[in-house]
Amino acid sequence: MVYNGLVNTGYSLKDVLYTMFNFLDDHPREVLILRIQKGGILGDSKKFLDFVERHFDPDSEMGDRVAKRIYFRNSGDISIPTIGEARGKVLILQDFKSSQPALYGIPWNSDTVSSYSHSLALGSLFLGLKWDGIESHFSQSRSEDFDKLRITHTTAGAGVKPIDIAAKNHPGFGMNRRLGRYLLFNLGDCFGIIAMDFPGYSLVKEIIMRNYRYRAPEPLDFPSFCATLPMPEKAVDDIIQDEMDDDNEVTPYDEITPGDEAPPAEGSADEAGDDEGAANLIR
């Protein structure tokens, strides 16, 4: 079964994979990233590996869909794929040992992944210190880890409500508003993957704008300056509207307004934060 921290989610790995495969069938231009981790320190690593191998065996019940939807490469290849290479696939972050390196995906280690992740559950009282760590990770020069997958967690961990971390109002701001302002004022050198809880309309909008700004022009015969043109606000609103659910709801936690002042100086010792609980199998 799949665990989140110490909590059994009630879903099996097969349930998770089928859900992801079905999503990619409907949205083949998307990429899903799945970290698989062996939980606990007393579990049998060999049994865990046998368990994983059964799900990815070409002759298994899911063999055809695994071959189509899991991003496989030659064993030992630890390079980070481009979005174009991984579209329509599940990219696995392999946080367990296998018979060959990188057998199922990118190894989760310091050679391949640059990750900021606080595991202490100190609640929302120390949220400022957590933000300092996040900001520091964003601000690292891209030249320091240009060949790694950069992942930053702004999420809550065990012992605190995710909503309190994401949208805390007093004192100070929650993670989503801090992140939104950081993006709004074009701070940071490289963002990579940002794990968030409860992202609202304005935060989603800032991220979509940034994705548009840095993507390569397509098709190739477009003038080169097209890649640097700002995306029209109307176009961004249309994209977000497409992503809304059937109830037409996007929760605008801590709206980011262009007229807002720059982010306040933070990082006093009265605030620190937490990230995520240790997962038993899959994060």
Identify whether 252 is part of a domain: no
Using alpha carbons only, what angle is made at residue 127 by residues 121 and 130, rounded to the nearest 5 degrees? 75
Residue 116's beta-bridge partner residues?
152
Both 153 and 37 in one domain: the answer is no
Both 102 and 141 in one domain: the answer is no
Tokens (6 digits) for 113: 């992944």
Residue-wise pLDDT tens digits, 154-176:
887 666 778 888 887 655 678 89
Identify whether 155 is part of a domain: yes
Tokens (6 digits) for 149: 């997958």
Residue-wise pLDDT tens digits, 255-270:
434 344 444 443 333 3
pLDDT at 277: 34
For the chain, how many structural domains are there in total? 2
Report how far residue 97's alpha carbon sits from residue 113's, in angstroms, rounded to the nearest whole number: 16
Domain that holds residue 122: 113-243
Residue-wise pLDDT tens digits, 187-235:
777 788 888 888 888 888 888 877 776 666 655 444 443 333 444 455 5
Both 126 and 227 in one domain: the answer is yes
pTM of full prediction above 0.85: no
CB atoms within 10 A of CB 272: 21
